[in-house]
Structure 1
Amino acid sequence: MTTRKAIVPKGMEFVRDEIGYAPGVLVGSTLYIAGQIGRNSERQLVEDKRQQFIQCFENMKAVLNTAKMSFNDVVEVTSYHTDMRDLPLYMEVRNLYFGDCLPAWTAIGAASLCGIPGYFLEVKAIAVKG
């Protein structure tokens, strides 16, 4: 039987307790990472666009680390953008985290994210351990 485990990094407990979902779910050796947004550890929107993109990946990194995984284990990424003209910035920041080990990627335009103005990016991913 395949095991299923909620992955909740320290500081993200409110997502589970208040909003009602896990930042990640580990099923066997596959980790499903919920959409990560540019919200810092104080639960505040990071307003600078580049720093917001970095925060998305830092939040993803926290989920990966809690599952004892890394960006090298990520096989698929889906990114949601409120402005598709931000793709060059997204790719620049993404490459800081993935280097030469690039996953499959789908980019989707979105009218808004979280129903809150100011969010420019949301990123979800699938990682496979090993």
Structure 2
Amino acid sequence: MARDVVSPPELAQLIEATGFSPAVRAGDFLFLTGATGGDSEGVMPPDITRQVQNALGKALLIIDAAKGNADSIVEVTSYHIGLKYHFDQVNDVMRDMLGVPLPAWTAVEVADLRRPGALIELRIVAHLPTPKPARK
């Protein structure tokens, strides 16, 4: 059985470069590949606020392609370099972009991330129920 990959056209170059699936649907759930904060040109901004905005923006683009929105996000795991120094800024962006109450969220300090300059990576799970056919 083939994977049910969600792949918005805006991320085609990224997909070609990495080979990663932006997201895979499994039943009513969408599992997104970890998103770091590089911008659309692939440049990693130095500040955490911009990185979180970029990472969440990519995630929301993918969820939108799967016919969901910010309210579809049920779980976030954030991996941080320097968590105790920037958690408040991350929390502010999450609240601004996702609304409150926030989805279930676990924040983890890590030693390093794959992308040079990345201070955060987000792993997101969204719930996107399959519409039920109308009853006759």
Give me the TM-score of the superposition, normalised by structure 2: 0.85
AA aligned opposite 1:54: Q
Task: Give 1:84 deviation, angstroms.
Answer: 1.2
SS at match of 1:14: helix
Task: Give 1:115 deviation, angstroms.
Answer: 4.8
Task: Give 1:13 deviation, angstroms.
Answer: 1.7
SS at match of 1:112: coil
Change (3 A) 1:49 1:102: closer
Matches of 1:49 and 1:76, distance apart in 2: 20
Matches of 1:23 and 1:102, distance apart in 2: 22
AA aligned opposite 2:11: M
Q: How many residues align?
A: 128
Matches of 2:77 and 2:113, distance apart in 1: 14
Question: What does residue 21 of structure 1 align with?
Answer: 20
Aligned pair 1:100/2:100, yes or no?
Answer: yes
Matches of 1:113 and 1:57, distance apart in 2: 17
Q: Unpaired segments of 5 or more residues in structure 2?
A: 130-136
Change (3 A) 1:69 1:3: farther
Question: What does residue 80 of structure 1 align with?
Answer: 79
Please, what is the CA RMSD of the aligned residues? 1.8
SS at match of 1:96: helix
The equivalences for 1:27-66 within 5 A come to 27-66=26-65
1:3–1:27 Cα contact (<8 Å) kept: no
Matches of 1:15 and 1:23, distance apart in 2: 9
Question: What does residue 91 of structure 1 align with?
Answer: 91
Q: Unpaired segments of 5 or more residues in structure 1?
A: none
Matches of 2:100 and 2:109, distance apart in 1: 25
Which structure has the larger Rg? 2
Question: What does residue 10 of structure 1 align with?
Answer: 9
